Structure 1
Amino acid sequence: MADRTRRGLLRAAALAPLAAALPAAAMPDVPVAPAGVDADALARDEAYWARVAALYDVARDPVPLENGYWGVMAAPVQAAYLRHQQRVNREGPAFARRAFPALHGAALDSAADTLGVGRDELALTRNATEALQALIGGYRRLRPGDAVLCADVDYDSMRDAMRWLRQRRGVDVIEIALPAPATRQGILDAYAQAIARHPRLRMMLLTQVSHRHGLRLPVAELCAMARLRGIDVILDAAHGVGQLDVRIADEGADFVGVNFHKWLGAPVGVGGLYIRRGRADDIDPYMGQADPHGATAARVHTGTVNFAAVMALPDALAVHAGIGAARKQARLRHLSARWLAVARDTGAFEVLASEDPALCSAIASLRLRGRPGVDDNRALADRLLDDFGLHTVMRDGLASGACVRITPAVFTRPDEIDRLCEALRAIAATA
């Protein structure tokens, strides 16, 4: 144990000067897109995306196709994070109490600008789950006998929070399964029917992009539908912000939880809670927290945060802006469309991705036909890893069964998608 401790100390001492040198050595410029080329055309410009991929130091063995968990930092963001962490560690509590509040405010300003919301409408959290639990648990416009609504595409923790309202608020919890395969009208009809069947419905959870199979809901239309009936929407935008070219405020939900460490590439541990101006009083202050001015920040209490992660948030948002939301969205759809076409052509797979591009995202899933079980899909993910060197993940919770989620990133190379296509053909041939 003593030798191990000594080796750790020596390793830390050796890494310190390297980390100090990182900002100067690892600050490549974000590639400039060719002038006059629209996002869809640029999505097929492999030279440009190779320059984007060079911003990321990622392991390629196994091929990383499980980028829905969290997004790795680009090199300039990682360099900034290490630099900030050194400062935090060097200056200690004096930094946290004296310098950090202004830096936190700067990060909040950058985040609000990126989301297209007011600074007073946003609070930084550690992740979208924390934000959404505060919104769901604190939603105060419920009375015993009212109803709330969630769906099979929603995130597990958020469904648990909705079910918890049964004991906390005395409400009925309505759960629906969205149609598969998904169509825009089918989704709208599913929610419209649920609203019509439950006249005491007061609040519903919507997921902008499902973590299970990447379905993108027509959120703006669903929010408009809910508003006509006096129903509030809490929006889970954990997977939408950063990969979709859409402003949060334009989606129509008054309460939103977001992640900055998924598709925006901030360090792990930074999310956000959005409350539209004028609606904060409809969410309880967090566990009796003082609230003299109806502040969004009073609706969540994160405790001590990862100072360096918050400080690196503006760096991540700068990289995101340099690439551009529309370009990222087009590129990610292009990469997914390549492997989805092969999966469909084999006939061996049930593909969990809509044929409607407006309902698609970077995330998509599949399963072998007739094999919706958890064990079947865990075995499929294992085979992709063990036999073909492709890292994916099994997801469960859809009414239709389990699936394997495949998620490229902006640094994913075309040859890696080709490798996935070859694997799918090989598996289909033996299915």
Structure 2
Amino acid sequence: MTIVYHDNPDSSKQTTTAKMSGTPEVPFGAEMRRKHFAFAPRYTPLNHGSYGTVPKSVRATHVALEAEVDAAPDPFISLDFYGRLAEQRALAARVLGAADPDEVVFVPNATTGTDTVLKNFEWQDGDTVLVYELVYGAVAHGLSWLEETRGVHVHVARPQWPLPDDELVATMVAAAREVQTTPGRRLRLAIVDSIISMPGLRVPYERLVPALQAEGAMVLVDAAHGIGHIDINLDVLRPDFLVTNLHKWFFVPRGCAALYIPRRHQPLIRTSLPTSHGFTPRRRLGVIDEDGETFTEMFSFTGSDDTTAWLCVQAAIDFRTNVCGGEAAIKAYCREVAQRSAAVVADIFGTEILDCPGSCIRDCFFANVRLPIELGTDDADSGSGSGKVSPEHAPRVVRWIKIRGERESGFYFQTWLYRGAWWWRLSGAIYVEVEDFRRGAEVLKALCERIRNGELARDPETGPLTA
């Protein structure tokens, strides 16, 4: 199969034609890590999902762009950047299944994209936003701000994961109908994920979007864990808004995210965040002002910043195609290594994987395994050597595990307390293998034993557990 990502056949510099063999240049796992990534030798990266990373080749492209802008800042930023950015946006739009590239703009991260939507709505009395309890923390804070400053109501549904997809959809639809039948309330917006961040869970967003739209809501898809992780086809899905980080799973340098706003909703988005040069005011002030620009130009320059990462989409595609063998090969390996590793880890811990029949939650690069820590019922149990820990000390437990794991063994563990149990979120990536997670599990099991023996309470870095 031959793939051409650019429409301009005359531009050899910006046109990539590659054979997708499905076979990586070197095997995925430790060998891929050594050859194509720049991790410190003592650090084993088991948490790609939080901050991502980039291959050496993409980093080289980024460094070259930074040198180019420093060599001639004015022409790079003022004359050339927008045209070059348009080419990269078109690439991202094509990967996301958006036929119209001007429905996709770049923002620094998914949080900025979501907040752009929330702060542009002209909220009215009774307007309600529907979310579930595992909505991303920054999004939850943005909604709290709306409650405090705009009087927006936030309705939180509480499906108890793991649960079958049918039950999740039914729960969210029932919540939407509850809002719509409450006097004085109107369901204005619903927010759903493609993949929930913590714990790492695939969501049947392809079903939730049309189901909630049918109940009268506009739907924003938080696909921070989207592009490069799961297949997205915007022209088929037709969400009202979607945001996805290119710097998590697609190997574009931080921070770069795509914000999808279909033309039918672009009039709702009056400004970028921050409001800057591309804004077209309805009433012009008595100052010199340029003519109004297009919707996409509003997002292209919001003030001086290093946005050279936004020009690295082609470099990421080149790596994924030429080195990794294409999207199918990447996705198959990352899903498999996460799920196989989870089985090994659960065996080492003597616990279980977060899962249930009829659910798609494990159809992704994440898996969640319960830690061997028992919850206590009161402060007397916490840190006493009883083997139990009070749930109120979860932040200290999480931080202690991160500190001790990284400093002592070169493992950074992403753990979380959810509904009465602690979970370790495993991130499958092309540069890790099952043996990495096996070694990490042995370290984490020992840390859990130390917690059960009361070491957490005696560690000065965590502070007193009774504080």
- For residue 260 of structure 2, give the secondary structure of its aligned residue in structure 1: strand
CA distance in 1, matches of 2:359, 2:56: 31
Map 1:152-163 onto structure 2 (within 5 A). Answer: 152-163=133-144
User: Residues 386, 82 of structure 1: CA spacing in aligned structure 2 closer, same or farther, 3 A cutoff?
Assistant: closer
Residue 271, structure 1, aligned to residue 257, structure 2: yes
* Equivalent residue number for residue 151 of structure 1: 132
State the Cα deviation string for residues 358-415 of structure 1 (Å, max 9, x = none).
322222334335345233333344454455432223446x565764433232111343
- For residue 360 of structure 2, give the secondary structure of its aligned residue in structure 1: helix
CA distance in 1, matches of 2:55, 2:242: 26
Residue 406, structure 1, aligned to residue 426, structure 2: yes
CA distance in 2, matches of 1:154, 1:61: 34
The one-letter amino acid of 2:243's match is G
Residue 333, structure 1, aligned to residue 340, structure 2: no
- For residue 371 of structure 2, give the secondary structure of its aligned residue in structure 1: strand
* Equivalent residue number for residue 15 of structure 1: none
Map 1:136-147 onto structure 2 (within 5 A). Answer: 136-140=118-122, 142-147=123-128
* Equivalent residue number for residue 189 of structure 1: 170
- For residue 68 of structure 1, give the secondary structure of its aligned residue in structure 2: helix
User: Residues 428, 169 of structure 1: CA spacing in aligned structure 2 closer, same or farther, 3 A cutoff?
Assistant: closer
Q: Which runs of 5+ in 2 are unaligned?
A: 1-16, 181-185, 282-291, 376-390, 453-467
Give the one of 86, 108, 112 matched to 1:126: 108
Residue 370, structure 1, aligned to residue 374, structure 2: yes
Query: How far 1:356 moved relative to its partner?
Result: 5.8
State the Cα deviation string for residues 173-220 of structure 1 (Å, max 9, x = none).
112333122321232232122112211222111111111111111001
Query: How far 1:352 moved relative to its partner?
Result: 3.8
Residue 415, structure 1, aligned to residue 429, structure 2: no
* Equivalent residue number for residue 295 of structure 1: 295
- For residue 229 of structure 1, give the secondary structure of its aligned residue in structure 2: coil
Query: How far 1:99 moved relative to its partner?
Result: 2.0
Residue 107, structure 1, aligned to residue 88, structure 2: yes
CA distance in 1, matches of 2:52, 2:141: 25
* Equivalent residue number for residue 19 of structure 1: none
- For residue 368 of structure 1, give the secondary structure of its aligned residue in structure 2: coil
State the Cα deviation string for residues 252-271 of structure 1 (Å, max 9, x = none).
42201111111111111211
* Equivalent residue number for residue 8 of structure 1: none
Contact 1:202 1:231 in 2 (8 A): yes
State the Cα deviation string for residues 297-355 of structure 1 (Å, max 9, x = none).
54796323424212223211332344333322221111111221133335644644556
Residue 68, structure 1, aligned to residue 49, structure 2: yes
User: Residues 170, 218 of structure 1: CA spacing in aligned structure 2 closer, same or farther, 3 A cutoff?
Assistant: same
* Equivalent residue number for residue 389 of structure 1: 410
* Equivalent residue number for residue 217 of structure 1: 203
- Structure ranking higher in helix proportion: 1
CA distance in 2, matches of 1:246, 1:321: 18
The one-letter amino acid of 2:280's match is A
Contact 1:70 1:263 in 2 (8 A): no
CA distance in 1, matches of 2:124, 2:216: 14
CA distance in 2, matches of 1:304, 1:321: 33
Contact 1:131 1:300 in 2 (8 A): no
State the Cα deviation string for residues 7-41 of structure 1 (Å, max 9, x = none).
xxxxxxxxxxxxxxxxxxxxxx9996457xxxxxx
The one-letter amino acid of 2:366's match is I
Contact 2:256 2:309 in 1 (8 A): yes
* Equivalent residue number for residue 310 of structure 2: 310
Contact 2:47 2:414 in 1 (8 A): yes
CA distance in 1, matches of 2:46, 2:338: 11
The one-letter amino acid of 1:55's match is H
- For residue 216 of structure 2, give the secondary structure of its aligned residue in structure 1: coil
**Stretch deviating more after TM superposition (160-169 or 377-386):** 377-386
The one-letter amino acid of 2:92's match is A
CA distance in 1, matches of 2:192, 2:118: 12
* Equivalent residue number for residue 9 of structure 2: none
* Equivalent residue number for residue 4 of structure 1: none
Percent identical: 23
State the Cα deviation string for residues 84-122 of structure 1 (Å, max 9, x = none).
111111112232112222211222222212222121101
Residue 47, structure 1, aligned to residue 27, structure 2: yes
CA distance in 2, matches of 1:307, 1:428: 42
- For residue 358 of structure 1, give the secondary structure of its aligned residue in structure 2: coil
User: Residues 243, 342 of structure 1: CA spacing in aligned structure 2 closer, same or farther, 3 A cutoff?
Assistant: same
Q: Which runs of 5+ in 1 are unaligned?
A: 1-28, 36-41
CA distance in 2, matches of 1:77, 1:392: 26
CA distance in 2, matches of 1:395, 1:139: 33
User: Greater CA radius of gyration, 1 or 2?
Assistant: 2
Query: What RMSD, in angstroms, separates the aligned Cα atoms of the two structures?
Result: 3.2
CA distance in 1, matches of 2:300, 2:68: 27
User: Residues 401, 202 of structure 1: CA spacing in aligned structure 2 closer, same or farther, 3 A cutoff?
Assistant: farther
Query: How far 1:295 moved relative to its partner?
Result: 2.3
CA distance in 2, matches of 1:356, 1:425: 30
| TM-score relative to the length of structure 2 | 0.75
User: Residues 293, 100 of structure 1: CA spacing in aligned structure 2 closer, same or farther, 3 A cutoff?
Assistant: closer
Q: How many residue pairs were aligned?
A: 393
